[in-house]
Amino acid sequence: MLAVLKEVLISATQNQKSNMKKTIFTSLFVLLASMAAFAQNVKVGDIAPDFTLTDINGQSHHLYSYLDSGYAVIIDVSAAWCGPCWSAHNSHVFDKLTDHYGTNGTIQAKKIKVLFIEGEATNTTAQLHGTSSGSSTATYSQGDWVTGTNYPFIDNTSVNKYYLYGGFPSFTVICRDRIVRSVNAGYGSTMGNESYWLDIVNQGCPSYAPSSTVDAKPVVYTGIPFFICNASPQLSFQNYSKTQTITSATIKVKSGTTVVATYPWTGSLAPMAKTTVTIPSFAGSVFTPYNFEVVVAGDSYPANNVSDDSLFSIFSSGNATTGAYKQDFEASDDLPGKMISSDQTIRPFKAAGSYVLTGADGNIGRALLFGFPEMNTGESEEVIIGNFNTSAATTLSLDFDYSYANVSGKNDDVDVLVSKDCGTTWTSVWKKSGATLSTTAPPASGAFVPKKAADWKHAKINLIAQKSSNMILKVKGTNDGGHYAFMDNINIDGQLAVNNFNTVNNVSLSPNPASNYVNVNFNLERNETVMIKIIDATGRVVSVVSNSVMNHGKNQINIPTNNLTSGIYSVSIETEEGKTATQFTIVK
C-alpha cells in the first residue's frame, strides 16, 4: 500500500507532522493530502545530519563542505519508478537552479547545490539511465533521468532515515548555517518554478558567512502556536560562529518592541550548534505578535538578533472579544483571526477538483474541515476558537451547522469544549460520534463533501454556565477511519454587555499634560491582578507598565514618558472584570 501512496501523493506543506498519515486512495483524498503532513526524521529548525556520499560517476559529496562553502543545499530523495518524481524532474527546475546558482552558475548572488538521491532500496543504476524494463519498483523506470542533467545522482538509501518523509519525492532545503529550512513530501506544480525555491532560500538562509568571533541568532520557531492566559514558549538560538563558544546569553521575549519576559541563559554552546530554552511562564497582554531577541556580549552581527514576529499567540482576558462572534469561513483560505489549529488536518475547505462544497444555505462556499482520512486511527486534532469576555452575559449561546456521512462501524468524533480557567479544565458542551454525528448517507464511492443544504444539521448550545472574562472554545476531532466532517456558520450570541468595571474607580492622571512622567491613581475594591498599558492615538500598545497582583484600596503607579513623543495617549487599566481607559497628553 505504501507504493500506492508514493505514486498518488502530489504535495505537502512545510513544517511537517511527526507521524505518518494513512494511505489515501480517492482523488479528493490526494487533493486534500497536499495540505496534510507526513512522517519525518529531520524537521524545520533542526541541525541537518551530515553525510558523505558518492554519486554514480564516482564523485564524493560532503554535505557540510557544501554548506561551509556558502551553498544552500536542496536534497531530492526520489525513485526511478515514481511518477510525481518524474514530473519534478521534467520541470527542469533543478537544472535551472544549478545553471544559475551552482558551482559554475551565471548568478553568484546566491549559491545553491542540488543533490538527487535515489531512495528506493531495490533500485538499480540501470533504472536511472532508463535502460531497465519491468513493472516492479526494482525494475520499472519512468525514463532516462541522467542524460542532460547537470546535478549529481546518488544511488544510496542510507540518508532515507533523515531525509525521506513517508513517500517519494521528498525535498529538504538546508541553509549554509546547517539549519533545515524546509521539508516537503510530494510534488506540486508551483515547485517547478525557480521562484518557489529561491523564496525559501532568500527568506530563511543567511547570506553571510559564520562569524570569526560569536554571532547569536534565533532559530525558526516550531513550538506551540498558542497559549492561554500565560505563555511558556520553547525558543531556540544558534551560535553562528566558526570557532568561538557562547557561554551566556539573555533571551528577551517581546510584544512588538515591548519586552514582556527576560531569561538569562548560561551553558556551553559550541560553534554552529543550537540550544533550546524554556521561558518561565509570563502573562499575555495582547493576542499577537510575539517575537524574541537573543543578546550575547561581543556579538559580531547584532542585526540578526531578533526573530520573526508572530511566533505564537496568547488568548488572555486583556485581548478578549466583547461582542457577538460570527464565522462563515468565506473570507479566506486560511483560518480566521483568533482561530488556531493544532494541525493542518483542521482547516477551511473550498472546492478541490471536482469536489465542490454546498453549504447549509444551499450556496457553494467554504466550511471548516476535519481531515479524518488524513489522521491515524485514534488520533485527535483540535482548533481553538476565542477568546471571549462573556462575564456579564445574561444569555449566551453557541450555534453552528455541521455535516458528516457516517460509515457503518466507524465512530469519528467531534467534541466542543469550553474553558473558563485558562485551559486548566475543559467542559464538554456538545459531543457526537458515528451515527449520532451523521447528517446524511455516505457516497457510493469517493470522499464525502456536502452537496446540498439537506446534508447539514444545526446545533445550538446554551453556554451561560460557561461565561467568564476569558472564555475559550475548543473543537476536537478524533479519527476512527471514516469520512471528512465539516462545521460552518459558527455563532456566539446573547446579551453580552461587558461589566462596567465595578472593581476599579476614582481613576486620575497627573500631571496632565505630562512631559517626563505621569502618575496613575486609582482605587481597587479587592486584591486582584491588574494590567496597565499605554496606548497611542492609533490604538497601538506602546508599553505594558504592569501586570501583577495589586492590593485593594488606593494605588499609584509612576509611568516614565520621556521616551514617548508628543501626542495623545490613553492609560488602560484592566482586571478580571473588564477595563477602563483614561486619556492624557504628552507635550515636549
Q: How confident is the model over 378-404, as a mean pLDDT?
A: 93
**122-136, 231-245, 367-381, 522-536: range with lowest mean pLDDT:** 522-536
pLDDT computed for residue 578 by the predictor: 66
499 has a pLDDT exceeding 60: no
Task: Indicate if the alpha-carbon torsion angle 17, 29, 341, 199 is positive or negative.
Answer: positive
Compute the CA torsion angle 343, 348, 352, 357 (nearest 10 deg). Answer: 140
Lowest mean pLDDT among 254-258, 406-410, 544-548, 572-576: 572-576
Neighbours of 502 (CB within 10 A): 11
Lowest mean pLDDT among 457-461, 469-473, 491-495: 491-495
Say what the alpha-carbon torsion angle 551, 556, 557, 562 is, to the nearest 10 degrees.
180
Q: Prior bond to 450 cis, omega within 30?
A: no
Q: In this prediction, what percent of the chain has a pLDDT beyond 70?
A: 90
Least confident residue range of 13-22, 83-92, 211-220: 13-22
Residue 335 to residue 371: CA distance in whole angstroms: 15
Residue 56 has pLDDT above 70, yes or no: yes
Q: Higher pLDDT residue, 258 or 398?
A: 398
Most confident by average pLDDT, 100-114, 466-480, 561-575? 466-480
Query: 507-533, pLDDT tens digit by residue?
Result: 889 998 888 899 999 888 767 778 898
Average pLDDT over residues 410-433: 96
- E strand or H helix that includes residue 76: strand 72-78
User: What class does CATH assign to 2-204?
Assistant: alpha beta
> Average pLDDT, stretch 553-563?
88
Cβ atoms within 10 Å, residue 441:
10
Same fold, 216-317 and 504-586: yes
| Class of the CATH-defined domain 216-317 | mainly beta
pLDDT score of 570: 87
Is residue 548 over pLDDT 60? Answer: yes
pLDDT band at 221 (very low <50, low <70, confident <90, very high): very high
Residue 544: the pLDDT is 87
The more confidently predicted of residues 185 and 179 is 179
User: What integer pLDDT is reported at residue 118 of this predicted model?
Assistant: 96
DSSP one-letter string for 348-396? EE--BTTB--B-TTSSB--EEEE-GGGS-TT-EEEEEEEEE--TT-SEE
Q: What is the mean pLDDT of residues 4-24?
A: 29
- Which pLDDT value is given to residue 105? 66
> In this structure, are strands 234-239 and 274-278 parallel, antiparallel, or unpaired?
antiparallel
Q: Are 96 and 74 in contact, with CB atoms under 8 Å apart?
A: no
Report pLDDT for 29.
37
Does the CA dihedral 26-31-34-36 come out positive or negative? negative
Residue 439 CA to residue 248 CA, distance in Å, equals 59
Mean pLDDT score of the chain, rounded to an integer? 86
Asked if pLDDT for residue 474 goes beyond 90, the answer is: yes
500 pLDDT exceeds 50? Answer: no
Q: In this predicted structure, what is the pLDDT of residue 109? A: 63
The phi and psi torsions of 197 (rounded to 5 degrees) equal: -75, -35
Grid coordinates given for 187: 510534488
pLDDT at 5: 29
Q: In this predicted structure, what is the pLDDT of residue 133?
A: 81
Break the chain into its structural domains and give their ranges: 2-204, 216-317, 320-495, 504-586
Q: Which three cell numbers stand for residue 126?
A: 540501470
Instruction: Say what the pLDDT of residue 483 is.
Output: 95
Asked which of 40-54, 491-505, 554-568 is least confident by mean pLDDT, the reply is 491-505
pLDDT band at 535 (very low <50, low <70, confident <90, very high): confident
Closest CA to 256 of 204, 217, 310: 310
* CATH number of the structural domain 504-586: 2.60.40.1930
Residue pair 44/36 in contact (Cβ under 8 Å)? The answer is no
Q: How many residues are listed for the chain in this entry?
A: 588
- For 320-495, the fitting CATH number among 3.90.550.10, 1.10.10.10, 2.60.120.260, 3.40.50.2300 is 2.60.120.260
Residue 569 has pLDDT above 90, yes or no: no
pLDDT tens-digit profile of 300-346?
999 999 998 889 999 988 888 887 889 999 888 888 888 998 777 89
Q: Calculate mean pLDDT across residues 182-187.
A: 90
pLDDT at 576: 65
Of 508 and 11, the structure prediction assigns the larger pLDDT to 508
- The answer for residues whose C-beta is within 8 angstroms of residue 139's C-beta and 6 or more apart is 124, 127, 132, 133
- State the pLDDT at residue 23: 28
- Return the C-alpha cell found at 489: 456558520
pLDDT at site 490: 95
pLDDT given for residue 336 in this prediction:
86
pLDDT above 90 coverage of the chain, percent: 60
Full strand arrangement of the beta sheet holding 246-255: 258-269, 246-255, 291-295
Is a pLDDT exceeding 80 seen at residue 552? no
User: Could you report the per-residue pLDDT of 76-113, keeping only the tens digit for each?
Assistant: 999 999 999 999 999 999 999 999 998 876 776 679 99
